[in-house]
Chains A and B, each alone.
Chain A
Amino acid sequence: MKAFQRGLLVAAIAALVSVVVRVRSKGPVPPTSGGGWRELQGPDFR
């Protein structure tokens, strides 16, 4: 019974930590590709 309670406590702490990490996350990882966006202009429409 004691082991079960301890397991529950560990699971609860893990869930809490994952929520905190997710909320405090700084957002997406940087891009893994080089390059950029170029607006399509007149020649692209010919």
Chain B
Amino acid sequence: MSTVLVVGLGEVGVRTARQLIDTPGIDRVIVASRRLDHAREVASALHDGAEPLQLGRDDPLPPGIDAIASALPSEVDPGLARRAVAAGVPYASSADRDATLGALLALDADARARGTRVVAGCGLAPGLADVLARHAVGALDSVDELHVARWGVAGPESAAEARRALREPAHEWRDGELVHEKHRHAELIWYPDPVGARECELVATGVELLVAANPGAGRITSRLGLPPNRRLVPPARRDPSAQWGAVRVEAWGWRGTTRTSVVYGVIERAGVAAGTVLGVTGAWLAGALPNVASAPEPGAVGLGAVVEPVAFLAELARRGVKAAAFEGVAIA
């Protein structure tokens, strides 16, 4: 009997719980919030497929948990991760703040000592983007450039994190070192329709996870674009596709003697895509989907470092989150 605890019941957390309830092999899903009434509300919205739980910052974790799937805000996520590691419970997180990703990876030694696993970056980007990046890199004999872009946010917390990422210094991986980019070099990125072309800027988010998962790439960049704040846009000019989230991954490298590119993209409601990625990762940590990633070994890693991209993407496709490949002539 596998039990997964879902914490952070916003746009992503609720979708994560839904995905876990629908996963064969997961027998019990507990949805936890600081406010019991909110947890009850979510459990009721899930047609009572989940059990509500009040979980404050200092409350002990409930017994019998096989994995935790966290969609908590970035500032509180590492605190719960430390408690999970101390209790020997595997932990998956969708937090995307660069400092939080670093704090989660810093739990590596503790996780190894406790014989448990922490998986960071299980959202849209980092997360789905890292899975697509591994899939794209796997289609080439060798890779020299990897460019990842995301457009869209999952909710107010996610929008605040994205605005923060756009204010923080941008970094890119170039020839073996992390380089601080003073200019964000806004660029039009072409996502699948209906999102289409969106202006995205360089950010630091997730670059280090991509480097760890794709050590052969000489250059790695991460870009982010945000829909305009709805309240500041007159109704007649509101963008109907602003509710979508999108990810695009472009890998350049060699296949035989030919330099070529592989481009993958996904569009989906940002909360649905991130929640599905977190749900599948949580189910894997609980032992329900053993083929979507390599055998769980103790330590703290990014999703891209452990995922089996083909099996993971097939599982996402079964759940309605479908990737697409760009076929045509990309311009380098």
Contact = CB atoms under 8 A, between A and B. Distances in A.
Interface of A: 27-29, 31-40, 44-46
Contacts of B329: 33-35
B324 interface: yes
8 closest pairs, A vs B, by CB? A35-B328, A45-B314, A28-B197, A37-B324, A37-B192, A40-B323, A39-B324, A34-B328
B325 A44 contact: yes
Contacts of B190: 31, 33
B325 A38 contact: yes
A34 B324 CA distance: 16
B331 interface: yes
Contact of A33 (B193, B314, B331): B331
B313 A40 contact: yes
Contact of A38 (B197, B311, B324): B324
Given A40-B323, A45-B311, 18 more contacts: A27-B197, A28-B196, A28-B199, A29-B197, A31-B197, A34-B328, A35-B327, A36-B326, A37-B192, A37-B325, A38-B325, A38-B327, A39-B322, A40-B313, A40-B325, A44-B310, A45-B317, A46-B310
6 contacts: A28-B197, A28-B199, A37-B192, A37-B265, A38-B326, A46-B310
Interface of B: 188, 190, 192-193, 196-199, 264-265, 310-311, 313-314, 317, 322-331
B303 to A, nearest CB: 18
A27 to B, nearest CB: 8
Contacts of B313: 40, 45
Contacts of B311: 45
Contacts of A38: 324-327
Nearest to A30: B197
A26 B312 CA distance: 39
Contacts of B192: 37
A31 B325 CA distance: 16
B322 A40 contact: yes
A18 B329 CA distance: 34
Contacts of B196: 28
A33 B265 contact: no
A44 B326 CA distance: 13
A32 B196 CA distance: 13
Given A39-B324, A45-B314, A33 B188 contact: no
A40 B265 CA distance: 10
Contacts of B330: 33, 35
Contacts of A46: 310
Contacts of A45: 310-311, 313-314, 317
B332 to A, nearest CB: 10
Nearest to B315: A45
Given A37-B193, A40-B313, A45-B317, A32 B326 contact: no
Contacts of B265: 37
A29 B102 CA distance: 38
A32 B317 contact: no
A6 to B, nearest CB: 32
Contact of B328 (A36, A39, A44): A36
A28 B328 contact: no
Nearest to A29: B188
Nearest to B311: A45
B317 A33 contact: no
A40 B197 contact: no
B328 A33 contact: yes
